[in-house]
Amino acid sequence: MSKKFILILIVTPWIYCTAAERKITIPTNCNSFKTCYDKSQTTDIYRNKIRYLDGALHFWRSTDGEGLMAKALVERASYIVKEAGGETGYKGSDMNLKVTHKKEYKETSYSAAITDLTEAIKYKSSLNKDEMDAAKDLLKQTTKLLEEL
- Tell me the per-residue pLDDT of 44-70, one tens digit each, with 9 for 90 and over: 999 999 999 999 999 999 999 999 999
pTM: 0.81
The pLDDT, as a whole number, for residue 91 is: 81
Amino acid residing at 46:
Y
Distance CA 45, CA 76 (A): 12
Does 134 score more than 60 pLDDT? yes
The pLDDT, as a whole number, for residue 27 is: 86
Distance CA 20, CA 110 (A): 12
Reduced to 3 states (helix: H, G, I; strand: E, B; else coil), residue 89 is: strand
Q: How confident is the model at residue 20 (pLDDT cuts 50, 70, 90)?
A: low
Does 111 score more than 80 pLDDT? yes
Reduced to 3 states (helix: H, G, I; strand: E, B; else coil), residue 88 is: strand
Does 8 score more than 70 pLDDT? no
